[in-house]
Amino acid sequence: MTDIVALRCKYCGAPFEKEAVESTVPYITCSSCGTTQQRMDAKAYLEEMMVQVKSWISSAIPSGFNMSAAENVDPIARNSIFVRDIRPKVSMELMDYRFGNTSLLGNCLITLPFSRSSGYVPTHTPAKAFEFNARIKSVEPLAVDEAGKALLTEADSLTKSYALMINNMNLLAEDKEGRYVLMSKNFREAASVVRDSKGSEAVALRYTALADICDGCQYLLEGKPGDAGSRLRSGKKALEEVRLKAAADPQLGIMVNAVDQEISVSDILISVAGMMETTPGTDGLKILNMIKKVMDTPLAQNQGWGHLLNNRIRYGEIFGQVSAILSAKAGKSQLPISAGAGDYLMPFWEVDLRYSFTTGALWSKKSVEVKEDLLVCADFVTDPTCLNNPASAITDIFKIKPESSILAGIKGNETSISQGQGIGRMQDSVSEGSPGARKVLIPLSTKREAENLVAGYLRQRTASDNKLRLSQPVIRRIIYIPVSLNGGLRLPSDFGTLIPERIGRTDKNTMLYV
């Protein structure tokens, strides 16, 4: 075996490319894991690995048999050695690698720029997988019949592609410069390796799709949203095809949830590319830096909210809101903004609530229906108190009872047991408009999360008032309310005494805005 073919990375075990091997520089960089090492160290690693391979061969074949002259040995004798000594060892070890590869395929194999993914740790190292691959190559002359050749072909393609994917999983766990270039190469090489393996067509297509998505990520980082969008959409389309194939094949079913996550990641990336492309006057790297800040913003930890807040899919909706803000700031669209003065526009979820309550006694007893408006702070997911006590993020309309006499309650003359103060007037003043020079704060929650919060708030209220009956609230949209930061965060007077407690805990130094 020549250096061109066999010189390997001492960190991951991957063979170096011809150009890197032929270079005369003392340092060499692995195109699979991205690490740089001295050429002499890579050669030393190769020698060490070949000693291990030869040791494995010596333990597997009869003493006195010379592998270097194996092709000159009678085919029947070679086949006998393969069936008796080689096949059992290869089959047993291959089973372990096959299981590891299947487990890896059940995980999302891509992540967003500036983020890391370390939820899954492969059971093997890339060096061990590449080493096993080298063993397979070393005993190929002993495989004479079709069954033996098929076994080694499967072992070769599976372990090589698996080793490349382990490298990618390691790259996902670190925000390394140039990692998307490395990952794209690994995905494409893995796809070419498994493409001709029976039953692996969907896996090859998935790897190719993810290579396109990696290329799209790299284009985003280079400030080329047009090229990025094209690659990302191509990758997403292929992933959707993979998803259909996996759902219809029990052997590939483990990939379904992982591919769903990869499609969601691609949606987010397509949204980011759209932001950069539709606002050409905006620095693309600034947009990506803003996206990084959104993703780096710590979310409140709460066991009951984990299924919502730990799901990366949520960022697709949030980045959609960011895109709408950028478009409005560029003068290409408008935002729903309430009347009022202020240098900042603060986002709130607009909620329609209908409820009924029982009033009166005896023959005067009756049910009264009421419509009220609520506002929910759109950054409540960053405040653990809000998740534990939803009322602290909401304009608590049940906090203040309307003035009425005890007699009115007995006679059934009450018309409401809530008081929205000026919230309704503020919502009625909302119209589409330009933010102008005002800074727009970024919503950090999704509609589903707002629904969950409001549901928790209403459970609180019905538990404390047995005559209250509630219908399903409607989360309508995000609206923007002008606020001032002069002398602290000040909201419009229409809030009255219904300013959510969350506002008082807001740290203006951590607010994200465009």
pLDDT band at 5 (very low <50, low <70, confident <90, very high): very low
HEC sequence for 326-392: HHHHCCCCCEEECCCCCCEEEEEEEEEEEEEEEECCHHHCEEEEEEEEEEEECCHHHCHHHHHCHHH
DSSP string, 276-331: HHH-TTS-HHHHHHHHHHHHHSPPPP-GGGHHHHT-TTHHHHHHHHHHHHHHHHTT
Q: CB of 336 within 8 A of CB of 431?
A: yes
Q: CB of 482 within 8 A of CB of 342?
A: yes
Q: What is the tens place of the pLDDT at every residue in 349-359?
A: 999 998 887 77
CA–CA dist 157, 129 (Å, integer): 11
Question: What is the number of helices (H) and of strands (E) in the chain?
Answer: 19, 9
pLDDT for position 4: 34
Tokens of 48: 């060490």
Q: Which of 295-309, 409-423, 482-496 has the lowest mean pLDDT?
A: 409-423
CA–CA dist 351, 318 (Å, integer): 18
Q: CB of 514 within 8 A of CB of 290?
A: yes
For 408, 411, 465, the CA distances from 362, given in Å and listed in that order, are: 13, 9, 19
Crossing angle of the two packed helices 225-248 and 256-278, in degrees rounded to 10: 160
Reply yes or no on whether the pLDDT at 136 is more than 70: yes
Q: What's the whole-model pTM score?
A: 0.74
Sign, CA dihedral 188-193-196-200, equals negative
CA dihedral 489, 490, 496, 502 (to 10 degrees): -10
Residue 379 CB-density burial (10 A; 0-12 exposed, 13-18 middle, 19+ buried): buried
Query: What's the mean pLDDT when you consider all of the chain?
Result: 87
The most confident of the ranges 66-75, 161-170, 191-200, 303-312 is: 161-170
Q: What is the tens place of the pLDDT at every residue in 91-130?
A: 888 999 999 999 999 999 998 887 888 778 899 999 999 9
**Three-state secondary-structure class, residue 507:** coil
Of 344, 33, 351, nearest in space to 179 by CA: 33
Contacts by residues 116-125 (CB-CB < 8 Å, ≥ 24 positions apart): 116/172, 116/173, 116/174, 116/175, 117/172, 117/173, 118/172, 118/173, 120/169, 121/169, 122/165, 122/166, 122/169, 124/97, 124/100, 124/162, 124/166, 125/12, 125/13, 125/166
Q: What is the tens place of the pLDDT at every residue in 365-413?
A: 777 788 889 999 999 999 999 999 999 999 998 887 776 644 555 556 6
Length of the chain: 514
CA dihedral 422, 424, 426, 428 (to 10 degrees): -150
pLDDT band at 481 (very low <50, low <70, confident <90, very high): very high
